[in-house]
Amino acid sequence: IHRSNRKWLLAGACIIWSSTSLVSSMTNSFAVIFAMRFILGLFVSATEPVGFSLLGDYFPAAYRTTANGILGAGTYIGSASAA
């Protein structure tokens, strides 16, 4: 049972994710960095399940495996390009 709109859930998680990253970059306090990183982890953990769930709505069954593979590979491609 879906109790909330997944698009809005994903949008809200991304906004909070970005906000916690911004606050983390501007603070000198370890406690604030710790709290922001904790909150960041909570909201980042919501993005993948919601993203994969939305792919099921937007892609036909024949293309879902490719779409899921691209979304899943994005984490590793982003990490590799950042290194």
Q: What is the pLDDT of residues 27-56, one digit of tens each?
A: 999 999 999 999 999 988 888 888 888 998
What's the pLDDT at 2?
A: 65
Picking from 1, 6, 5, the residue whose alpha carbon sits closest to that of residue 49 is 6
What's the pLDDT at 60?
A: 94
The structure's pTM equals 0.74
What's the pLDDT at 1?
A: 46
What's the pLDDT at 37?
A: 93
Percent over 90 (pLDDT), the chain: 55
Percent over 70 (pLDDT), the chain: 98
